Structure 1
Amino acid sequence: ISFKACGNTQENMSKTENKEIGLIPEATLVKSGVVRVMELQEKGWTYVRP
């Protein structure tokens, strides 16, 4: 399992909360979570919505 965090969301949340939004140590930051999901789908991954 790997954890990715959306950089756009983190930036917007930081602005809204007026403080730095931290990540769990296991997570890595990607510029855009939506783009990352699209990249994975192009490689054959499936997006399952809860």
Structure 2
Amino acid sequence: MLWTILIVLLILWALGFAFEIGGGLIHLLLVIALVVLIFRLVTGRKVP
């Protein structure tokens, strides 16, 4: 689920640069995507 959100946010960020729309919103999406990625990498899956 988190990987899907991360990919969608990164795609929207890239489209924002390509079409120069969204302004600050695009950069906010990038920051959110990076936070999700870091959170996912740090927590990982715990094997019981």
Q: TM-score range by the shorter chain?
A: 0.3 to 0.5
**Higher helix share goes to which structure?**
2
What TM-score does the superposition give when structure 1 sets the normalisation length? 0.33
Q: TM-score, length-normalised on structure 2?
A: 0.33
